[in-house]
Structure 1
Amino acid sequence: MASPAPVSSAQVKAVRAFNRFYTQRIGVLKRYLDTDFTLTEVRVLYELAHRQGLTATDLVRELALDAGYLSRILRRFETQGWITRAPAPHDGRQSLLQLTETGHATFAPLQQKSRDEAVALLAPLLPETRGRLIGALGTVHGLLQPEAGRQVLLRDPGPGDLGWVVQAHGELYAREFGYSSEFEALVAEIAAQYLRKFDPDRERGWIAEVDGERIGSVFVVRKSPRVAKLRLLILLPQARGLGLGGRLVDECIAFARAKGYRKLVLWTQSHLEAARGIYAARGFQRVASEDYHAFGKDLTSETWELAL
């Protein structure tokens, strides 16, 4: 695949000009729609009004917020009686956030005001012009957020899925890293052991699909009564950039915690930078490394651990 062309100064100016126009047009340079709320505060209220079971960690990750800034927002909401907190069943160190009736009553006029502003923006346009505008917005959304409109599913493995996991590992690692068939044999052994010794009370796997196509996997297996192991994380190139690698690892962490494991461990290679970035971002620590020769390559293996 050819590398993208350099971004020109004219292209940068065009994006910045549009940003200036649109932020002024929708009024975000002032308080949100002439209310006492900032745009960020309204977005947090929106997420809490439309989704259940959110934690502060979820909001930080999904809205790309500074944790300290979000903490101040939530303290304000709590002081006003707009939210309540309850212990998260999957992690006692976190709290589930929920809007109170007062919180919903506070958010409702903000949502209506936003809808009214959208109507006012579109009303002067002819029907065909509105269609062009909505189509252009969809194009921008799709180009800048490729997962928009795509059907993403994380599901339990079914018949044939472990065979696909072996094939995907063999093909991808041979193509991208030059691994020999020795690596595919290792993955096949791990997959066979998972199928033969599967303990549904203490182990689980996930297959990631995008628009009905298998594109990734990960598994949690029992290593000891208190230690679980993350295995066979893979994401095909066409699914990279959708945040699915992080979602798969998050599922493993949540499952291991819910089952009472005290530690989650994994084995990886030093050159797998994308995977290592996912692990580090979630608090995994590298505890050991070793130079060795395998799969036709000189490699450095790494062991990572996460205290649960």
Structure 2
Amino acid sequence: MSEPAPVVARVREFNRFYTRVIGVLEAGVLGTPYSLTEARVLFELAHRDEMGVSELRGVLGIDAGYLSRILRRFSADGLLVREAAQDDGRRQVVRLTAQGRAAYGRIDDEQVRATERLLEPLDEDGRGQLVAAMDCIRRTLGDRPLPRTVVLRGPGPGELGWIISRHGAEESEAARVVAGFACRADPREAAWIADVDGEPVGSALCLADDSDPGTARLTLLRVEPAARGAGIGSRLVAECVRHARSVGYDAISAQAPSGSPAARILGRSGFASNGEVWTRRW
């Protein structure tokens, strides 16, 4: 067996050192029952509303069979739900349950504490040098992802029509709602387009509720399937809530079937449900 080149040997030596320091050679990450790959699956899902199985495999770069075994185990343990996507029954999506998010939270908390222990012996200068060296390694090895710019803005020309067209079977109802919004021109009402790199990918409207003058109505909340999992829906909901409060409403309500993506976003955004009606008060 030939001797590795000096630079190869030094890189391998550093890898052995660092994996020992951060403890990834242990059976479980930081004393948890999860391997490094399993912890990474939890990490990816914890930062998204839901995620396609094929997308998850692409992000992790692991074998489909290996990922399937992890997902089966997590499903059996009650950490996640795996189901057909609402917009395409052939596409499988996964999302963490409350138990799964709690499991990720425990790992994340322990990783924070472990990193704090790692940095504790270093003074401010030493910490700066360490972080700068890490940044240098990432840049040198090509870790330069181009950020996707997400902007929430008012609808541009023709985009009220785009909102209507994206609601499929509910297009006629969407047309009625949008037409009413456009005709009223009420300053207490507003509409948003979620724009990713110049293209519309989502929408939401904040309208008056005819049955309750003190309550705003959040409606036509939608995020395109290709843009889901990046927190865009939560940002749209947060913007509707901010607007409703700023113009003097006491509450905001929305309708969403239990278990739907919209319902999960509303639940995480502080809304309480009564059947399919979700309400947030302040």
For Structure 1 versus Structure 2, the TM-score category normalised by the shorter chain is 0.5 to 0.7
Contact 1:152 1:209 survives alignment (8 Å): yes
For structure 2, the residue ranges without an aligned partner over 5 or more in a row are: 1-51, 58-63, 71-110
2:244 alignment counterpart: 256
| Alignment pair present for 1:218 and 2:204 | yes
Cα distance in 1 for partners of 2:118, 2:135 equals: 22
Cα distance in 2 for partners of 1:305, 1:120 equals: 48
Q: Cα offset for 1:122?
A: 7.2
Q: State TM-score, norm by structure 2.
A: 0.56
Q: Cα offset for 1:130?
A: 7.2
1:265 alignment counterpart: 253
Q: Cα offset for 1:191?
A: 0.6
Q: State TM-score, norm by structure 1.
A: 0.51
Classify 1:258/1:2 alpha carbon distance in 2 versus 1 (closer, same or farther; 3 Å): closer
Contact 1:157 1:206 survives alignment (8 Å): yes
| Alignment pair present for 1:155 and 2:153 | yes
Classify 1:269/1:121 alpha carbon distance in 2 versus 1 (closer, same or farther; 3 Å): closer
Cα distance in 2 for partners of 1:8, 1:184 equals: 38
Classify 1:119/1:251 alpha carbon distance in 2 versus 1 (closer, same or farther; 3 Å): closer
Cα distance in 2 for partners of 1:280, 1:31 equals: 37
| Alignment pair present for 1:30 and 2:144 | no
Contact 2:119 2:127 survives alignment (8 Å): no
Indicate the SS of the match to 1:261: coil
Equivalent position to 2:167, from 160, 166, 169: 169
Indicate the SS of the match to 1:279: helix
2:217 alignment counterpart: 229
| TM-superposition CA deviations, 1:179-238 (whole Å, max 9, x none) | 4xxx211111111111001212x1111100111110000010112431100011000011
1:59 alignment counterpart: none
For structure 1, the residue ranges without an aligned partner over 5 or more in a row are: 12-22, 36-108, 124-128, 143-147, 171-178, 290-301
Indicate the SS of the match to 1:6: helix
Amino acid at match of 2:277: T
Contact 1:266 1:305 survives alignment (8 Å): yes
Higher strand share goes to which structure?
A: 1
Indicate the SS of the match to 2:66: coil
Aligned-residue Cα RMSD (Å) equals 3.3
Aligned residues: 181
Contact 1:33 1:114 survives alignment (8 Å): no
Cα distance in 1 for partners of 2:166, 2:229 equals: 18
Equivalent position to 2:128, from 92, 109, 115: 115
| TM-superposition CA deviations, 1:220-278 (whole Å, max 9, x none) | 011243110001100001110100101110111111112221111112234x6211111
Equivalent position to 1:6, from 65, 79, 86: 65
Q: Counterparts of 1:32-47 in structure 2 under 5 Å? A: 32-34=119-121
1:199 alignment counterpart: 186
Classify 1:31/1:222 alpha carbon distance in 2 versus 1 (closer, same or farther; 3 Å): same
